[in-house]
Amino acid sequence: MPVAGTRRLCRMGLVAVLVTALCILTLLDSPPARLPDPPTDPPPTPGGEPPGTRSIVAYSWARRLALDYRPTKQCDGNGTRGMALNAYKLPGTKWLETIPGQLFLYSAHLDLRIAGYPSIRVIGVKRGVLPSSALFCTIWYWENERMLSLSVEALISTIWLDEWGETVDNYIGILVNCQLPLDGSIRHTSRVHVSLSSCYENASHSLTIRSEFGDETFIDRKRRQQFTLCIKGLDFDEDISHKLIAFVELHRILGAQFFYFYVFNVHENVLKVLRLYERSNVVRWFTLDLPGDLPNEKTARRRFFNEDIWTKRRMELIPYNHCFYENIYHSEFVVPIDIDEAIVPTRRKTWHELLLDERAKLGRSFKDFASYSVRNAYFFPELQNKNQTDRSAGLDEKLRRSVEYTDYLDTMRTASISPEGDSVKSFVSTKRALTVHNHYALTTLNPSTRRAHHLDSNDVLKHHHRACDSRHLDCDLLMEDVRIDESALRYANELKTRMKIALADLDALS
């Protein structure tokens, strides 16, 4: 053999040895460390919030990626079958059932947040224990104006924690990770199917992969909004249209730029409000239903959720995570929140200013967290002096009724503030979270990232405007000690002006 050829073989052999050594060192790196335990919520009560999350084992980033990696397999001859037939639509139509009675898919999203580790994230629901054999993702993609497909083993994680309640025979949310080739050769993904079949053939029975703005999304981050609100399934017969306007306008003052609403059943006037804001590109809203044999008739669904609060809690996480993944490139933070709540700073006017202060306090460690949590204070209507007219002074009768009805400007609250981890709501980072709960980031993208940092209650509180429920709260004790809190009154004039304009626009639509 020529000398040059021998040298070439030697160099290749040395490279192979170095690569092997690097892989071994990666897999054998430092022992896992435990993350600090977050504060634990009080024991669960029927209808109460789930207890606090457990600590997780943090592996190094490289080790996590190595363990999660699954090679892809190119599929032959099944790229376009059925592509024009019965294409699955956006959420709000129906679930995609891929294992009868067991696996239901809701939405799919391209995730390029980890450099060199592209993935498709599929949000779905499983019922009971899935088959012990592997599940596979079949992914259709475009290459040189041809539709091709590949298959990869699916990685399944639940959007829940075991200690929150037994889930063996129940419906529970899942996140499916479908690994794309690491060389980045596949970018123009189109559809995905998850089931027991490798290289599934019928592309019409699949989900559209959400990647709204194409490659420019991942290049031009200057267009990213700062805050998007996620509001779980609305289910009200009452006409809460004026309350909804006040909710949207107050949070726009605070800094929210976009709102995702999910709708089970609402009054026609509420739909008019959603359509009004949709026209101005402030709101996106989706009709919502339940998978499998869960009830979707209004009365039956409400009765079921009232009797099975844990299934209700689990199903609430589907729209929250859909909202999160819809916004991983559009917003810096998503905020899962209810329409009877408002996150109100005490020393600053906006959320942007609040988090700027927190960044200055924490320095580099600000990025160690996947969510920034705000503690809860109750503004029970029973505490308010309904004879007060300061907040609605100078308004016409219609607007006065609207402002008074919303209660967002109430000033009497309980002195007791909920403990850290209990009933909090959070600014969830779209760069650092993997899944979200209605209170905080549930799991993190990087295992070494901590789930939640609690903001100082002297800087900000979540104002919770709800009637006191003696089944779950000690109302007498909570209302023994009260405080005057006028922090929301700073927004009164601007809120009144905004509501007047919105109500006029709503009347124009009628």
The segment with the largest mean pLDDT, out of 75-89, 219-233, 254-268, is 254-268
Q: Is the model's pLDDT at 231 over the cut of 80? A: yes
pLDDT tens digits for 423-452? 999 999 999 999 999 999 999 999 889 999
Query: Domain-by-domain residue ranges, the chain?
Result: 68-221, 224-509
Q: Give, in order, the Cα–Cα distances in Å from 359 to each of 106, 315, 344, 366, 457.
A: 35, 34, 18, 6, 16
Over the stretch 146-163, which tens digit does the pLDDT of each residue have?
A: 899 999 999 999 998 877
Task: List, in sequence order, every residue forming a beta bridge with 191; answer none if it has no partner.
Answer: 140, 208
- Whether residue 102 contacts residue 219, with contact meaning beta carbons closer than 8 Å, is answered with no
* pLDDT of 40 over the 50 cut: no
pLDDT at 7: 47
What average pLDDT does the chain have?
A: 82
Across residues 340-358, what is the average pLDDT?
97
Helix (H, G, I), strand (E, B) or coil at 400: helix
Q: Identify the sign of the CA torsion 409, 412, 417, 421.
A: negative
Predicted local distance difference test score (pLDDT) of residue 352: 97
Please provide the CATH number assigned to the domain covering 224-509: 3.90.550
Beta strands 136-143 and 189-195, pairing class:
antiparallel
Using an 8 Å Cβ cutoff, are 433 and 328 in contact? Answer: no
The residue among 212 and 33 whose pLDDT is bigger is: 212
Q: Which residue has the tokens 């040189």?
A: 144
- Mean pLDDT to the nearest integer, 354-368: 96
**How do the residues of the chain divide into helix, strand and coil, expressed in percent and rounded to 5?**
30, 25, 40
The 8-class DSSP code of residue 491 comes to G
Q: What percent of the chain has pLDDT over 70?
A: 78
What does the longest C-alpha to C-alpha distance in the chain come to? 100
> What distances in angstroms separate CA 454 from CA 132, 358, 415, one per listed residue?
40, 10, 19
Is 80 exceeded by the pLDDT of residue 210?
Answer: yes
Alpha carbons 333 and 356: distance in angstroms, whole number: 13
Which range is least confidently modeled, 129-133, 398-402, 434-438? 398-402
Q: Say yes or no to pLDDT of 92 above 60.
A: no
Question: Residue 169: what pLDDT?
Answer: 78
The structure's pTM equals 0.84
Whether residue 276 has pLDDT greater than 60: yes
As a whole number, mean pLDDT of residues 319-334 equals: 97
Mean pLDDT of all residues in 226-243? 95
Residue 173, phi then psi, degrees to nearest 5: -70, 145
How far is the C-alpha of 328 from the C-alpha of 370, rounded, in Å?
13
Per-residue confidence at 223, pLDDT binned at 50, 70, 90? low
pLDDT over 90, % of the chain: 62
Identify the weakest region by mean pLDDT among 184-198, 442-456, 481-495: 184-198
